[in-house]
Structure 1
Amino acid sequence: MRQRTYRGEGFILLLVGVILFCGAWYTLNVSSDWFPSGDWFRHWILYISVIIVATLSCISGARRVFSPSASIDKRNAVRPIRWWVIAACVVVVAGVTWIAINWLLANVSTPAGGAGNPTLKLESIKTGLTVGAGAGAVIALGLNARRQWLTERTQEHTEQDATERRVTELYTKAAEQLGADKDPVVRMASLHSLERLAQDNPEHRQTIVKIICAYLRMPFTCPPNLTSVPNRLPREIVNRRRRIFPSRDRHPSSLKVKRQELQVRLTAQAILSDHLYADKNRFGRARNIRFWDGMELDLTEATLVDFDLSSCHVSKATFTRSQFVGLADFSGTVFEEDVWLDDAHIQGLADFSEAVFKSSAHFWASRFDDGVNFSECHFIDEVKFGDATFRDACTFDNAIFEGNASFEKSRFIAPTAFESVKFKGETTFNACAFESECDFTSAAFDAASKFEGVHFGNFCKFWDTTFWSSITFEGTLFSNLTSFMGATFHESIRFDGVVFLKEVHFTGVTFRQVCWFRFVEFGDHECRFERATFRADARFDDAFFHGLANFQGGRFMSSLRFNGASFASRISFAEAKFETGPRFDGAIARLPRTDISEMWPARWRVDDALLAETRHSGSWARLVR
């Protein structure tokens, strides 16, 4: 406010200067007949003086308004009236009086050859002096207003200093009561005192939130079985928690201290949850009058029990190396800035459904022991789950990743779902391990994606998945049934060096750009490319087909190459359509081949007499035309 007052003075000076300039211009160009003849030199001196005063006023005002070098101390300090301000006021009053007198005298009618009416001239001079006195009165009124403002300002500062001293005393006393040697009831009372203090003094809210977070960062060991925690969870979750934290401490006094400390910590968590809950309407305004906007949370290495931040609004949150015991509820939470959950350990259910991350989110090396729900999450910036571990069911259904998403070296032990997920940025799953089922049904990858070196240990679904940019699965291992049925690849795709140990389905898949299946090994089960459409080149060079290779009804609109490929079982191209002839140069097939249903492309056959030398066991023959 003081800074605005300083700038306000500058605007006033600019306005005065502009008014003086306009008056001088009007007097010179429009109403030059105000000047009595013969006095032009004296009037020009006054005119130049007005111009000088106006220029000084504009320069001083511009310095106050636009000068970035003015320090905060100068802006806040009360400055005495400068001598030139008084001089300018005197000049203004004198100028107004002189202009008024001359204008009135110039309008007094004078008979031809006469000296004019002395009475009218005297009255004109009196009126001009009255106008000058009025101008002086206006300036005096301004000085009185300034004096009144200074008095009110002094009173305001006095009251503000008294309030600050009282707040500081309450703040210091409440912080001292949070000491570890205090009774738990006293500590809870101090937390509520800090809460009330923050509610009444918005400028101290962030500081008080930091104190509460610092208290939660203090070392803490959960009591066994957590029986003192209000049971808001289903019975099976409570029983699972008791298995995770078996009772080890049998000393009654130690148990009592831990349970009391737990109640204090739950009170601190409840204060944060209550005041970060915004309940915003459709216009973005908080309906909760107790909402604290713009708060930052630093809970590094904190131990949080049944932490509930659902539907809250947080500016910045740090949970690095934190330990979450029981439920961790972030459903519907909005994070305005960066979120850090690196190396966090969530031992119970984790719910991030419908959460919004407006800046980057970091889950590097996090551990989720129980189920985790990221369904309908919205990640506006980049997100990193690198080296994370998901031990129970994990779902990202309908989530939106607008920035880059990294799951590099993550481990998914239980079933994982990415159904209808939208990956709008670059996505990386390199070196991931999916030890149970994973589902990418109807997912959309808008940017380049990488699944290099991934291990899919169970059923893997990419049904109706859309890849709008290039994707690579190089070096990936599919240990169980794999299905890409109905998927669409709009850009190039690479499966070089991939191993499919079980059945694999590419039925109905559309490859709009070149696809690479070089050095791919298909296991003993069927490899199905039925009704697949290849709009660009398809390369299966040096691929190895242990089981049935089924390309029935496929449509090949560009070149198809199986150069150097190996076929250990039968193959079928029944009803397949070729725009150009396929190539099997150097390809080999295992003997004997007795299945009469085998369908090779036109003019290609296995020559039983043309044996091939190969590192594979058994007898092999070359394909010829």
Structure 2
Amino acid sequence: MATTLIVLGVVAAVGGIVVFALSSRLVATMLLAFGALAGVTGWLLPVASRADALKTGGLAAGSVVALYALWLNDRRRRVDEERQLLEHERQELETARATHDRERAADERFLRAVELLGHETDQVRVGAMHALAGLARSRPSYTQDVLDVICSYLRRPFEHPEYHQARAATDDYAGEPEAMADRWRVVRMTAQRLLADLLPRVGDPDAHAYDLDLTGATLEYCDLSYRVIGQLRARALKLYRSNSFHHCEVRGPTWFTNTESWGRLWLHHMEFSDGAWFKQMRVHSIVDFGHTVFHSEVKFDGSTFEGTTGFADTRFDGIVDFSTLTLTGPVTPPPGWQVEDQGLVRV
């Protein structure tokens, strides 16, 4: 009997292995469990009682079933992990698709607003300006691009009868009629205001320093005070009425080269972290640099300040060049300097 059980156990085990490899795992487990029961029982019958042999064979069969349960649980766990991985990849794909759709929509809004800046009516241009500003607020990655576009609009040639009069020009006015010029001036005023709105204020936590390129721009009543600016290109500006940069923090290089102002220019309480160049600058009215701090090189050579000029408590941490600076109006010199022959010399 023992030999018969051992043979049955071996046959059942072999059959279970074959079935496990080819088809049903459950049937294979049953055959392996029966094989273990028969084989162990038959092997122990000559040396142990029938009850002990059957008990040990039952334990062997139970171990096979337990191993199958462990394999089944491990397979179920791996299937769940693969399902979760697929779900995560699907969610990432949907997120990427949604992000792409939003970026495409933002790009289309940006391009459409830029196109409308050339519209023949001032209302549409003002709306385009606000659309660009709204895009920059909702998607900060567009802020620098929007600032560049607004600066580009302000760099467009612009003339107004009042500007012609402020310059005391002797030639005939060649610009658009005053009514039309007034309409375009409203658009430019909007651009200047939005420019200030988009720049971070001094003291804002983690304020990003955006660059401004206003080269050749015409500004009137432009107020960029209390703003953080990166690089400031203000070459050949044409300034009218009153323009304010006071209390600004400029972190990059600054150029006011060849700028001309026919109004008041407020540059007091500013902080320049990098070099600043005011070469060949001409101011016909008030200019105030009082309490401004220059941490690096600054040049005023070749400039002419015809009105009241203020350098009260201005601080120069780097090299300062006042050579060929001409001062023809009342002057408050910086500490350690004095006015001499319409210029500034060290005491």
TM range (shorter): 0.7 to 0.9
**CA 406–419 in structure 1, closer or farther in 2 if over 3 Å, else same:** closer
Q: CA deviation at 1:128?
A: 5.3
- In 1, Cα distance between the equivalents of 2:163 and 2:247? 29
Counterpart AA for 1:328: N
Identity of aligned residues (%): 23
Give the partner amino acid of 1:335.
V
CA contact (8 A) 1:224 1:249 kept: no
Partner of 1:209: 147
The CA distance in 1 between the partners of 2:300 and 2:103, in whole Å, is: 45
SS at match of 1:260: helix
Rounded Cα–Cα distance in structure 2 between residues aligned with 1:275 and 1:381: 27
Give runs of aligned pairs for residues 414-425 of structure 1, distance below 5 A. 414-420=329-335
Distance change in 2, residues 1:411/1:319 (3 Å): same
- 1:122: how far off? 5.4
| Matched position secondary structure for 1:315 | strand
Q: CA deviation at 1:298?
A: 1.0
Map Cα deviations across residues 244-300 of structure 1 (whole Å, 9 max, x no partner): 34697689971212111111111111110122252526xx366xxxxxx43221111
- Residue 300 in structure 1 maps to residue 215 in structure 2: yes
Distance 1:406 1:200, change over 3 A: same
| Corresponding residue of 2:103 | 164
Instruction: Tell me the CA shift for residue 123 of structure 1.
Output: 5.0
Aligned mates of 1:323, 1:251 — CA distance in 2: 17
Partner of 1:270: 193
- Separation (CA, whole Å) in 2 of partners of 1:460 and 1:408: 8
Counterpart of 1:364? 279
3-state SS of the aligned residue for 1:328? strand
> What is the one-letter code of the residue matched to 1:337?
G
- Paired amino acid for 2:274: S
Matches of 1:460 and 1:268, distance apart in 2: 37
CA distance in 2, matches of 1:458, 1:361: 22
- Which of 138, 157, 162 is matched with 1:219 structurally? 157
SS in 1 for 2:85: helix
1:140 matched to 2:79? The reply is yes
Within the candidate set 333, 338, 341, 1:439 is matched to 338
What's the counterpart of residue 264 of structure 2? 349
Contact 1:338 1:359 in 2 (8 A): yes
Q: Deviation string for 1:41-89 (max 9, x for gaps)?
A: xxxxxxxxxxxxxxxxxxxxxxxxxxxxxxxxxxxxxxxxxxxxxxxxx
The 8 Å contact of residues 397 and 417 in structure 1, kept in 2 or not, is answered as yes
CA RMSD, Structure 1 to Structure 2 (Å)? 3.2
Which residue matches 1:457? 341
Q: TM-score, normalised by structure 2?
A: 0.74
> Scaled by the length of structure 1, what TM-score is found?
0.43
Structure 1 residue 459: deviation in Å?
11
Q: Provide the residue aligned with 1:198 in structure 2.
A: 136
Query: Does the CA-based 8 Å contact 2:294-2:316 persist in structure 1?
Result: yes
- SS of the aligned residue for 1:343 comes to coil
Matched residue type, 1:140: V
Q: Give the Cα–Cα distance (whole angstroms) in 2 for the partners of residues 213 and 360 of structure 1.
A: 22
Q: Label 1:155 to 1:372 Cα distance change in 2 as closer, same or farther (>3 A).
A: same
Match of 1:395 in 2: 310
Question: By how many angstroms is 1:119 displaced?
Answer: 5.2
Whole-angstrom CA distance in 1 between matches of 2:342 and 2:137: 53
Equivalent residue in structure 2 for 1:407, among 309, 322, 330: 322
Cα contact 2:246–2:266 (8 A) shared by 1 = yes
SS in 1 for 2:241: strand
Question: Residue 225 of structure 2 is aligned with which of 310, 326, 332?
Answer: 310
8 A contact 2:166–2:262 mirrored in 1: no
Note the residue ranges of structure 2 that are not aligned, 5 or more in a row: 1-46
- Shift of the 458–365 alpha-carbon distance from structure 1 to 2, 3 Å rule, reads closer
More helix by percentage: 2
Q: Quick one: structure 1 residues 298 and 460, their matched pair in 2 at CA, closer, same or farther if it must change by over 3 Å?
A: closer
Find the aligned partners of 1:458 and 1:162 in 2 and give their Cα distance.
62
* Amino acid corresponding to residue 105 of structure 2 in structure 1: R
Question: Is the counterpart of residue 256 in structure 1 residue 179 in structure 2?
Answer: yes
Contact 1:300–1:321 (8 Å) recurs in 2: yes
- What residue identity is the alignment partner of 1:157? A
> What code does the residue aligned with 1:169 have?
E
Distance 1:376 1:128, change over 3 A: farther
Total equivalences in the alignment: 296
1:577 alignment counterpart: none
Query: Which digits, 9 at most, give the CA deviation of each residue in 1:491-517, with x for residues without a partner?
Result: xxxxxxxxxxxxxxxxxxxxxxxxxxx
User: Does the 8 Å contact 2:223/2:244 carry over to 1?
Assistant: yes
SS of residue matched to 1:342: coil
CA distance in 2, matches of 1:372, 1:402: 21
2:88 aligned with 1:149: yes
**Which SS does the other structure have where 1:309 is aligned?**
coil
The one-character-per-residue Cα deviations of 1:431-450 (angstroms, maximum 9, x if unpaired) are xxxxxxx638xxxxxxxxxx
Equivalent position SS for 2:212: strand
Alpha-carbon separation, structure 2, partners of 1:272 and 1:198: 11
State the one-letter code of the partner of 1:260: R
1:489 is matched with which residue? none
* Partner Cα separation in structure 1 for residue 282 and residue 255 of structure 2: 13
Out of 183, 186, 203, which is 2:121 matched to?
Answer: 183
TM-fit CA distance, 1:329 = 0.6
Alignment partner of 1:307: what SS? Answer: coil
Q: In structure 2, what is the Cα distance between the partners aligned to 1:136 and 1:269?
A: 66
Unaligned regions of 5+ residues in structure 1, if any? 1-112, 227-241, 287-292, 422-437, 441-455, 463-483, 485-625
Please state how far the C-alpha of 1:154 moved relative to its aligned partner: 2.1
Q: Which amino acid aligns with 1:270?
A: R
